[in-house]
Structure 1
Amino acid sequence: MADISFTHPEPPPASSRVWPVFLPFAGCPYRCLFCAQDKQTGQGTAELASIFRDLELDLEQARVAGRGPYELAFYGGTFTALPVPWPERFLGLAVRFREQGLVTRVRCSTRPDCVDAALLSRLKAQGLDMVELGVQSFDDAILRASGRGYDGVTARRGCMAVQESGMGLGIQLLPGLPGDRPGVFQEDARLAAALKPEVARLYPCLVIRGTPLAAMWEQGDYAPWTLDRTREELALGLLSLWDTGVRVIRLGLPPEGTLAEHILAGPWHPALGQSVRGLALLEIVRTQVENAGFTPTAMDVPRRYQGELFGHANELAEKYAALGLGAGAVRYVDSTVFTVR
């Protein structure tokens, strides 16, 4: 019986530090059923002049203090649909601090129906390096039921337009939206993986106070995913994305601003990311063991994965024990390789 050795399929993390700049609702052509950027960020509708002044001051203070460098990221609105001249002004500010060594890269978030070749070429020339698209789903029925205002073809075209521009692509998916059906999210994850974006974010849909989705939920017209289903679906989605080298940089909404106190229903958990990553790792180990065809008695685990092997609060311990890998059979090592024997 030979040992099994394998590595984790997750791509290595980026080394850059991100400086987020939130532009709640700025440039957004629609107010989507699920959207609650004001609750998530703790900010109301963006006042762009004020955000610009504050950002300029904060960047200058960081430069003088010798902090950085940073990747500047414009989130929360539809950056490519901001009124003129705001995209140019924000990018001009980023370029100024890039020339001084504080900013190394600039990214933004936007909608797939708010990008085209000419616009992307112009923004790239002005200093934009990466575009994250809030695709949410590639499924026509889900997009229609959620009031997104575009279809799956438009979503795919937007992704390809970003790639053809030479900029980095990010894809954001929002599983569990109205119109969801079994299998749709896994197909969305496969489609996203096939596009090979640089990064992806997976935000399971939550019911947040004050949104149109909250009214649907209160009337019994919408049921969010359970936490168990969310964990299982996201874990499988992770494996699809990792398999094509996509870094998944967010699992679930971060508990920023006043978000937590406004969640009415849905699969929110403070340790969702750890739980999902642990479940994905369990599937990797289980597949390796099944392919090997023997019952293992010990496993060496890279120390980096010590915090997620058994999941949140040891929730996966019994599943590993069923494989023959109880806590006493696991040794954490300074290596990048898993070894099962």
Structure 2
Amino acid sequence: MRWRRFPHPETKPRGPQTWPVFLPFAGCPHRCVFCGQDRQTGQGVRPLEQMHAALQRDLEQEEQRRPRRSLELALFGGTFTALPAPWPERFLELAARHRATGLIRRVRCSTRPDTVAPDRLAALRDMGLDVVELGIQSFNDQALLASGRGYTAAQALQGCRNVREAGLDLGVQLMPGLPGDLPGIFQNDVEQTVRLAPQGVRLYPCVVIDKTPLAQTWQKGGYRPWSLTRTRQELALALGALFRACIPILRVGLHPEPALLDALLDGPWHPALGQMVRSLALFDHVRTMALPLGDGPKLLRYPQRFSGEIMGHRAELRRCWQRAGVTLRSWRGRDFIVFHP
């Protein structure tokens, strides 16, 4: 009997629990055609003074918890490096006070790749910034132009280099299915991301949100989002590439905020998209690992804790395994084992 043993292919992110703080539209030079941050996050636009005060209050309350957690403060939703002075400094000073007590271990922000000048990054790093996630969306000039991003693919690449050269960890956010999309653009974006080797990737398929410029284009028939089927297939290929490169996947799809669901007009959103995509990517990985064993029926022993991922959302992959001639058996071990009688 021939057999192969291998671990789950996904590299899990390491670090403390994330404490997300959303700053919708704060610091953004303009509004991109697809953007509905207030609906995506469930957080309305508020003055920075109010958001800073709320964070200060929440962190002080967290200091009183016993046992107390260790956290990564994540400042999302706006363009952090372009916030008006002195707000980046004030948020980082607040984080530094709680880093001194051990509550905060790392600080992360999201921003645009055209707002990360080397001297600016160096100053923020010295104040305690650890990770910069760049909302790249695409490395394709056509998609960037059609989406109103306001920068080029060359600027996106330079932004990534600037983050690395500043000694900061790099995160990359991609948005497949943008206006201006053509077959192959997203997979090229994934290949470019793999070459950059970031410390984490988020994948947010483009959807149509009410009261955005993209919604107006969609209503006139000028934009057609990806189908859920195509999204699953494209993202599964992307996850396979990220698995092989040992790059952690931080998020797949938008969070199911009630405000988002109320405003969603069209596009490949599903509450179980992450599970669907991971299941399909794992299915492809297992089949690839089994190829050297030759043709014919096989037995897969998989760790019990991955039962949901193996079977897929609502057991949708059961027939796929049957058609592939693979019999499934769970076990309490850590690895996957494929047997060929």
Asked if Structure 1 and Structure 2 have the same fold, meaning a TM-score greater than 0.5 normalized by the shorter chain, the answer is: yes
Which amino acid letter does the alignment assign opposite residue 26 of structure 1? A
Paired position in structure 2 for 1:260: 261
Paired position in structure 2 for 1:279: 280
TM superposition shift of 1:145 = 0.6
Task: Give unmatched runs, 5+ long, in structure 1.
Answer: none
Paired position in structure 2 for 1:112: 113
Paired position in structure 1 for 2:140: 139
CA distance in 2, matches of 1:46, 1:303: 46
Paired position in structure 2 for 1:202: 203
Question: Comparing 300-309 with 265-274, which one deviates more in the overlay?
Answer: 300-309
- Give the match's secondary structure for 2:38: helix
Alignment map for 1:1-341 (pairs within 5 Å): 1-66=1-66, 67-326=68-327, 329-341=328-340
**Number of residue pairs matched?**
339
CA distance in 2, matches of 1:169, 1:302: 32
Structure 1 stretches of 4+ with a deviation exceeding 4 A read: none
- Give the match's secondary structure for 1:308: helix
Between the aligned residues of both structures, percent identity stands at 51
Contact 1:25 1:46 in 2 (8 A): no
- Give the match's secondary structure for 1:160: helix
Q: Give per-residue Cα distances to partners, 1:183-236, cap 9 Å, x unaligned.
A: 110010010011000000000000000100000100000000000000000000
TM-score, normalising length: structure 2: 0.97
- Give the match's secondary structure for 1:50: helix
Which amino acid letter does the alignment assign opposite residue 70 of structure 2? P
TM superposition shift of 1:325 = 1.9
Which amino acid letter does the alignment assign opposite residue 37 of structure 1? Q
TM superposition shift of 1:337 = 3.7
CA distance in 1, matches of 2:65, 2:270: 36
Question: Comparing 141-150 with 302-311, which one deviates more in the overlay?
Answer: 302-311
CA distance in 2, matches of 1:241, 1:69: 28
CA distance in 2, matches of 1:279, 1:148: 31
TM superposition shift of 1:258 = 0.8
TM superposition shift of 1:15 = 4.3
Contact 2:38 2:45 in 1 (8 A): yes
CA distance in 2, matches of 1:12, 1:38: 29
TM-score, normalising length: structure 1: 0.97
- Give the match's secondary structure for 1:3: strand
CA distance in 2, matches of 1:301, 1:72: 35
Which amino acid letter does the alignment assign opposite residue 16 of structure 1? P
Which amino acid letter does the alignment assign opposite residue 35 of structure 2? C
TM superposition shift of 1:257 = 4.6
Task: Give unmatched runs, 5+ long, in structure 2.
Answer: none
Contact 2:303 2:335 in 1 (8 A): yes
Which amino acid letter does the alignment assign opposite residue 180 of structure 1? D
CA distance in 2, matches of 1:206, 1:49: 31
Which amino acid letter does the alignment assign opposite residue 313 of structure 1? R
CA distance in 2, matches of 1:47, 1:89: 14
- Give the match's secondary structure for 2:308: coil
Contact 2:7 2:334 in 1 (8 A): no
Q: Give per-residue Cα distances to partners, 1:66-113, cap 9 Å, x unaligned.
A: 321110000000000000000000000000000011100000000000
CA distance in 1, matches of 2:15, 2:337: 24
Contact 1:109 1:131 in 2 (8 A): yes
Contact 2:13 2:200 in 1 (8 A): no
**Residues 35 and 223 of structure 1: is their aligned pair in 2 closer, same or farther, counting only changes over 3 Å?**
same
- Give the match's secondary structure for 2:24: coil
- Give the match's secondary structure for 2:34: coil
Contact 2:109 2:131 in 1 (8 A): yes
Q: Give per-residue Cα distances to partners, 1:101-139, cap 9 Å, x unaligned.
A: 110000000000010110100000000000000000000
